[in-house]
A and B are shown apart, each in its own frame.
Chain A
Amino acid sequence: MGQLSQLLLAFIVFLSLYLLGSSSLTGCIKIVALQGMCLGVLPLTVRAEGFHPQGLLLAAGMFILKGFAIPWVLLYAIREVKIRREMEPMIGYIPSLLIGAALIGVSFALAERLPVPAGLRTSLLIPVSLATVMMGMLMMISRFKAVSQVIGYLVFENGVYLFGLAIAYQVPWIIEMGVLLDVFVAVFVMGIIINHIARAFDSISTEKLTRLSD
């Protein structure tokens, strides 16, 4: 059980790194979907005491929402605005990868010093969640296309979810449902807004939005 969860966590970090180095938007969305599915399965592997019906339900909800619903909204959005690639990232792909690797190192160093419950000291959960948060942020910082930023936001949120998983084993499931709903609504709104931005500006690059400021 423990082995499986460590494996999943490593896979999640690997997916985040892959996202940083990938230029295809469709590919990115699919990767995020895969990451979401891993997250959905993860609670089942972490909890040693077995399967509660609530936990199963939550995992299923997470799995469907992050693995299918949100990616579908995003794919719909980029199909509508007809773009496939992030053309001009602020930080190139190779430097992004290197920074991402450095961030993983930083997050391991930070996790060493975080005051966490004793059982988690050896787990990968904390460093992975920190690394995912940081890489999500890096993605939001380094990309111009609105869709890439949404993807970055999703990665960021995945990291936050992982951290929540680490801190609170007994998170009341109503809160988790609230988080999920939040993310779904946020992505939904962003998808719609991306469409509108594209219609108004003939582009979804946020660079052009800066002209809106006074």
Chain B
Amino acid sequence: MLIASISILLVGALVSALTAQYPKIAAAMSLLFLVMGCLTGLVAAVGSAAFSGSSGITAGWSLPWARLSVSLDGLSTFFLFTVLIVSLLSGIYGEAYIRRSEGLSKSKSVRPLFLILTASLVVVVCAQNAILFLFAWELMALSSFFLVIIEDEHPEARRAGLLYFICTHTATLALFVLFAILGRAAGTLDFEGIRAVMPPSAGQSTLLLLLALVGFGMKAGIAPFHIWLQEAHPASPSHVSAVMSGAVIKVGIYGFLRLIWILHSVSDVWAIVLVLAGAVSGVGGVLFALAQHDLKRLLAYHSVENIGIITLGLGLGCLGLSHHRPELALLGFAGAILHTLNHALFKSLLFLGSGAFHQALGTREIEAGGGLLRLMPWTSALSLIGAAAISGIPPFNGFVSEWLVYMASSSAVTAGEARLAAVSIGGLALIGGLALACFTKAYGVLCLGIPRTEAAKSAKDPGLVMTFPMAALAALCVFIGVWPGPALSLAQQAAATVCGMSPGSVHPALAGFLDGARLIGLIGACVIVIGGLLAFARFLLLDRRIALGPTWGCGFTAPTARMQYTASSYAQPLTRAFAPVLAIRAHFHAPAGYWPTESRFSSHADDRVLDGLLIPAGSATVGLLAWIKRRQRSRLQYYLLAVALFLLVLLAWKL
């Protein structure tokens, strides 16, 4: 079934590329093949989950040490679900999105590339051979690169594409080294074969961690390797952003988990590094999100934040492995794995929603919106569910997985790593609060109040084809939040696979924690329902009259809609509190004189790693080299002299 799914997707890519001359046929074909391929894949995943039998297929390949070997264990199954659900729904949404977008509807390559991306994602999570894995990994990187630059008439898309290209190849380079080390130790590049000769020595384990942090961490967007996310996510079409944020960066997390599975056990260094990296990405991501005005950039930083939460879970799981505490390992990994699915669901929901807002407003600037709750009720309501879920509010799915990570943190206290637990709990609490602040900001400015621009006044909900995928994702968010059983048992199976345990021994170990999650969820849901009932009672008591009137403007006679509370001012207390981290640059042209004519205010929060460190370092290097180039006397004889002196010194030194 798995092979059938991959083949259908690839054939779909070919067919939609061949029929690209006729957009209608290409659209129908790519949709047909996408739905068929993803459904076939889902059937394979359901089959594997239900019978927990790995349906592996192995075939020879002409490349040295390579075999075309795919199979589904617990971990692969879980990620296959994630990848397929996100790709399927985003693909359906994408069809309508492409049709409504002027630039994209002319593009011939967007549909084939999307299908190739989906197929490569499926292969990456199922591959059992390092060469096949790297092959699919590169295919995924390249197809997503071409999707990022699909609107290449915008300079920002080209810049983002270049940055993504550099980052993804740096990551692949690290992975090549990683698998070369593993393959040399094992004499084979099959994952099972490598696993048979592991675990590695302590020094090698640390080296592998560093390589994985660059290779998988760069793809996943763990700080400080997140630099491409906030550029590439806004630049790509919304349904591609949804897949990139929902599935592509999750493959980095999958890589970490697969590597831990291969290595059997990891050292304490892994736990410490991952927990710290997770806390930094989580808090840093949400802080930078708070300072953004661009909706998709804001969401991209939230991806960094959620990857941080996932990495915290990973780190705690590693702590459990290294301290031989299976329940801690299971909790940490299950939390990380479940949050991967949850983040894939609500983040793609939010990206799809942001695409609808973007098309309605013509800009991604949140300050251009306002009052969209009335004008675009469906998109706004569904985005609200996504925003509540990402903020970790019960009874939505984000809460369940964050709860697991909290539980893992508190159980790490008893493992004798109180400092790590403190970092983790403190980080999670800070992340939760700030994420809530950030989404009230974005959602409030975008959907509440009154429209600020003409475009916002005439905004309308998109058609059913675009609303349905969002509704499906929102339904999944609610479903996992209210009834986490099925998703949790899948996540447990995956976590058990990573820890190398039999799936049967898992349920008793975690049963206690899950009841707690359900109880808390229930209480939270009750609070929300009671709040809703109170609001409804107030509405009834007011005799169903809600008066709308102008705000008192302190005597100012010509108020405009732009005088509403802005996103920047809402976030200002928080951004000021974290000013040393954020370093916001403000351009303020103050009004002057009795009859001020023009005044302006704008603020930017540049990325600390990319704009604050890498770009200055890069331009300093270029400046230094240019200086050397001016200074050096470019004459053949001097070069020869340099070579001769070098050789002489070398000879004298070595002899």
Contact = CB atoms under 8 A, between A and B. Distances in A.
A joins B in a complex: yes
Interface string A130-163: 0000100110111110000100000000000000
A156 B346 CA distance: 70
A213 interface: yes
Contact of B655 (A110, A134, A137): A110
B505 interface: no
A141 B637 contact: yes
B637 A114 contact: no
Given A134-B644, A141-B641, A141-B644, A209 B655 contact: no
Main secondary structure of the interface of A (DSSP, over half): helix
A106 B655 CA distance: 12
Interface in B616-647: 634-637, 640-641, 643-644
A90 interface: yes
B655 A140 contact: no
A142 B636 contact: no
A207 interface: yes
Given A141-B637, A213-B634, A110 B644 contact: no
A206 B634 contact: no
A207 B652 CA distance: 31
Nearest to B638: A141
Interface in B588-622: none
A206 B636 contact: yes
Contacts of A209: 636
Nearest to B637: A141
B652 A110 contact: yes
B66 to A, nearest CB: 37
Interface of B: 634-637, 640-641, 643-644, 648, 651-652, 655
Contacts of B635: 206-207, 210
A110 B652 CA distance: 7
A143 to B, nearest CB: 8
A110 B640 contact: no
Contacts of B640: 137, 140-141
Interface residues of A, number: 19
Contacts of A137: 640, 643-644
A110 B643 CA distance: 18
Contacts of B637: 90, 140-144, 206
Contacts of B644: 134, 137-138, 141
A113 interface: yes
Contacts of B643: 137
B627 to A, nearest CB: 15
Contacts of B655: 110, 113-114
Contacts, number: 32
Nearest to A113: B655
A210 B639 CA distance: 12
B603 to A, nearest CB: 41
A144 B637 CA distance: 8
A53 B643 CA distance: 39
Interface of A: 90, 106, 110, 113-114, 134, 137-138, 140-144, 149, 206-207, 209-210, 213
A114 B651 CA distance: 9
Given A134-B644, A137-B640, A110 B634 contact: no
Nearest to A137: B644
Contacts of B636: 149, 206, 209-210
Nearest to B644: A137
A149 B640 CA distance: 11
Contacts of A143: 637
B355 to A, nearest CB: 46
Which of B634, B636, B643 has its CB near the most chain A CB atoms (within 10 A)? Answer: B636
Contacts of B648: 106, 134
Nearest to B652: A110
A79 B641 CA distance: 29
A18 B644 CA distance: 21
A90 B641 CA distance: 12
Nearest to A143: B637
A210 B634 contact: yes
5 contacts: A110-B651, A149-B636, A206-B635, A206-B636, A210-B634
A134 B643 CA distance: 11
B643 to A, nearest CB: 8
A146 to B, nearest CB: 10
B654 to A, nearest CB: 9
A143 B324 CA distance: 73
A121 to B, nearest CB: 15
A142 B644 CA distance: 12
Contacts of A134: 644, 648
A60 B5 CA distance: 71
A77 B205 CA distance: 64
A137 B644 CA distance: 7
Contacts of A141: 637, 640-641, 644
Contacts of A210: 634-636
A149 B648 CA distance: 20
A156 to B, nearest CB: 10
Contacts of A90: 637
Contacts of B651: 110
A48 B22 CA distance: 82
A209 to B, nearest CB: 7
Given A134-B648, A138-B644, A144-B637, 18 more contacts: A106-B648, A110-B651, A113-B655, A114-B655, A134-B644, A137-B640, A137-B643, A140-B637, A140-B640, A141-B637, A141-B641, A142-B637, A149-B636, A207-B635, A209-B636, A210-B634, A210-B635, A213-B634
Nearest to A142: B637
A132 to B, nearest CB: 14
